[in-house]
Structure 1
Amino acid sequence: MADPRTGGILIEQLRKRYGSGDTAVDALKGVDMHVAPGEVVGLVGPSGSGKSTLLKCLGAVIEPSGGRMSLGGEVIYDDGWKTSDLRVLRRDRIGFVFQAPYLIPFLDVTDNVALMPMLAGRSNDDARRRARELLDALDVGHRAQAMPAQLSGGEQQRVAIARALVNRPPVILADEPTAPLDSERALSVVAILNQMARQYATAIIIVTHDEKIIPTFKRIYQIRDGRTHELTGEETP
């Protein structure tokens, strides 16, 4: 396995406290975690354990209270943000896949994917070319001119994965990406994420409660009461 310190995701003693004084709540109490480039790792845990808080910190949606985070070999947080523009960080270094695809209903499939590189300053032609390459790789190239409402649920999620990959971020955060899918489509989505991780040397975290896909992970972290530990084979849910 590649050394995660040279890329991927590295989290060291990450903490997040909500509120202050007697009403303070420590959602994260010193999380340590690593995901190497090209690796897909599962993150499990009961409701309220800190999964959403951890993903929001990693996605630069909320600010941690302490600790250190590195994405793609770059320190982005070390007891404070190390970048002045979090919007650019989210756009260029982090891909997001959610439970719902959140495709823009009035744009066709190609432009839903091409929008991100367009926002990053690429020409429309280059952005659409890159979008079509990914759509072909994900076996939805034949739907390139379709509108989101014309797609099946599995097709919509593949388009969402293409959108997450199109700026070639070193990190993808997937939050319950298979929850609305049947077993066959859920396993297909996980297989695609594994393939894309290897092809683009992307580090991927999948937060899930989906028992259908948990056996597919080679490594799983469990978060409970604000702390993580890596599960062994005997502990796997």
Structure 2
Amino acid sequence: MTLGQDVIYDNGWKVADLRALRRDRIGFIFQAPYLIPFLDVTDNVALLPMLAGVANPAARARALELLTALDVQHRAKAQPSQLSGGEQQRVSIARALANRPPVILADEPTAPLDSERALGVMRILNQMARQFQAAIIVVTHDEKIIPTFKRIYHIRDGQTVEEAGEGRALD
């Protein structure tokens, strides 16, 4: 298994620091936002880049750039408890993108969002995937976002089936 040019598994783990691999190379978007309750929105997004060695000002600038792209920049100083469910989810998406990972794993990323915001988030994810040459793997029951995918796989009776020609990425 490779991630970019790095071999990470070849009949045994090749990467010594799996925490760094997850932090730097894989963005996670969960169904629940899992924001750190005592950090404001900007710090929730800037934390991973700072842990990866990015200077505080650059990490915060990146956080604000992503919050703006996801239309939650006006909540940058708010605590997670002050946000709506949709705002929390958009912040968690910004956090997943903060280190520009080549792989983004998303579990029901648009569940708490209305249709318009869900499609907007998928547009942004697809745009960033193209810009940073990242792969996005989404697990969802949300049929309204299915047209945003280039490839669609369904699991039926324990078997994975590709649905050819169903998906199209939104620009």
Gap regions ≥5 residues in structure 2? 167-171
Which one of 139, 143, 159 corresponds to residue 211 of structure 1? 143
The answer to whether the aligner puts 1:85 opposite 2:28 as a matched pair is: no
Which position in structure 1 is the counterpart of 2:119?
A: 187
| Equivalent pair of 1:72/1:93 in contact (CA under 8 Å) | no
Question: For 2:50 and 2:102, how far apart are their aligned partners in 1?
Answer: 19
| Equivalent pair of 2:86/2:112 in contact (CA under 8 Å) | no
Which one of 111, 116, 120 corresponds to residue 43 of structure 2? 111
Q: Shift of residue 217 of structure 1?
A: 1.8
Which position in structure 1 is the counterpart of 2:28?
A: 96
Q: Letter of the aligned partner of 1:172 in structure 2?
A: I
| Equivalent pair of 2:31/2:109 in contact (CA under 8 Å) | yes
Which position in structure 2 is the counterpart of 1:74?
A: 6
| Higher RCO structure, 1 or 2 (CA under 8 Å, sep 6+) | 1
Which position in structure 2 is the counterpart of 1:125?
A: 57
Q: For this pair of structures, how many residues does the alignment match?
A: 166
Q: Shift of residue 89 of structure 1?
A: 0.4
Q: Letter of the aligned partner of 2:90 in structure 1?
A: R
TM-score (norm 2): 0.86
Question: For 2:17 and 2:132, how far apart are their aligned partners in 1?
Answer: 25
TM-score (norm 1): 0.64
Which position in structure 2 is the counterpart of 1:147?
A: 79
Q: Out of 145-154 and 110-119, give the one that drifted further.
A: 145-154
Question: For 1:179 and 1:210, how far apart are their aligned partners in 2?
Answer: 7
Q: Shift of residue 224 of structure 1?
A: 4.9
Which one of 79, 83, 103 corresponds to residue 171 of structure 1? 103
| Equivalent pair of 1:72/1:171 in contact (CA under 8 Å) | no
Question: For 2:25 and 2:157, how far apart are their aligned partners in 1?
Answer: 28
Q: Letter of the aligned partner of 1:99 in structure 2?
A: Q
Question: For 2:51 and 2:148, how far apart are their aligned partners in 1?
Answer: 35
Question: For 1:229 and 1:78, how far apart are their aligned partners in 2?
Answer: 26
| Equivalent pair of 2:70/2:121 in contact (CA under 8 Å) | no
Question: For 1:81 and 1:169, how far apart are their aligned partners in 2?
Answer: 19
The change in CA–CA distance for 1:167 and 1:85 in structure 2 (over 3 A counts) is: same
Structure with greater helix percent: 2
Question: C-alpha root-mean-square deviation of aligned residues, in Å?
Answer: 1.9
Q: Shift of residue 225 of structure 1?
A: 6.2
For residues 157-209 of structure 1, the C-alpha deviation after alignment (integer angstroms, 9 at most, x for no partner) is: 22111111111111100011122333233222222211221232221111111
Q: Letter of the aligned partner of 1:192 in structure 2?
A: I
Q: Shift of residue 129 of structure 1?
A: 1.8
Question: For 1:152 and 1:189, how far apart are their aligned partners in 2?
Answer: 16
